[in-house]
Amino acid sequence: MRGAARALRAAAAPARPRAMIQDQSRSHPTGAPWRNFYGRIHGKALKPNQRRWLEEDLPRLSPGPVAWDENPKRLPLDPEAVFGGRPVWLEVGFGGGEHMVHQAASNPEVGIIGAEPFVNGVAMALGKVRKAGVGNVRIHAGDVRDLLDVLPEASIARAFVLYPDPWPKARHHRRRFVTPEHLDPLARVMAPGADLRIATDIPDYVRQTLEEVPRHGFDWLAEGPRDWRAPWDDWLPTRYERKALREGRRPHYLTFRRVRPSQPA
């Protein structure tokens, strides 16, 4: 219930510019670590049916207690129990949920956990989950770092990071997902042999991805240009990709495999 309540409070709050959100006191009574969060958590006012989905559906689709106020001891989740022993996939920043729901419908033999802090995107995804009638999706409406804290080691069989925020200015590159702050915990929760798919239309994001991800125990699986120019066989284009194509940018599809421990920093 707390996740849904936080999402509704965020949706009702006045819009703020896309900027850093932080706890100005630099501490938290739950003991949560100091983490800057960059980006938006809500946009336009939600429609009544979207607010209803947040109230009714988000609590039952929770993967378990993730936030620090509901799990201050950071006890690990039990995704095997949640999904009845099925392999578990993770989508980081699922946007409006079209890819996540497509994968869930196409792969009923797996469970999928999605993390997304943008409340409007969460509401859109809940509508898609309802329409598709899929039962193998769980949603964390918040920062993926909190979710990675409590996922068991080697519990994720596949992960998706699709069109993450590019943070194009050089001084903002440290905010990108492909940095040690995110890749260290992601590598911890991914099982040996698990695949990591990253899609982006920003050439410099490709550069940073190819530099950083292999340092965290992943091999890039490409053998030729087609391997990063052509989408995956089970790919569903997202609205972000369609926008990129309209604006003349070329998508890149990068596949990595978890094969070894991360290199020391």
Query: Active-site positions?
Result: 165
User: What is d(CA 220, CA 236) in angstroms, rounded to the nearest whole number?
Assistant: 22
Give the strand order in the sheet containing 137-140.
137-140, 111-115, 88-92, 156-162, 190-200, 252-258, 218-220
- The pair of three-digit structure tokens given for residue 50, joined into one six-digit string: 């979207």
Q: Are 103 and 112 in contact (CB under 8 A)?
A: yes
Place of tokens 């519990």: 155
Q: Are 156 and 90 in contact (CB under 8 A)?
A: yes
Residue 189: exposure state from Cβ atoms within 10 A (0-12, 13-18, ≥19): buried
Beta bridge partners of 140: 115
Residue of 240, 141, 250, 234 lying closest to 195 (CA atoms):
234
How many degrees, rounded to 5, is the angle at CA 229 between CA 159 and CA 102? 40
DSSP strand E in 77-174: where? Answer: 88-92, 111-115, 137-140, 156-162
Give the number of other Cβ atoms within 10 Å of residue 108's Cβ: 11
Inter-helix orientation angle 48-56/2-12, to 10°? 160
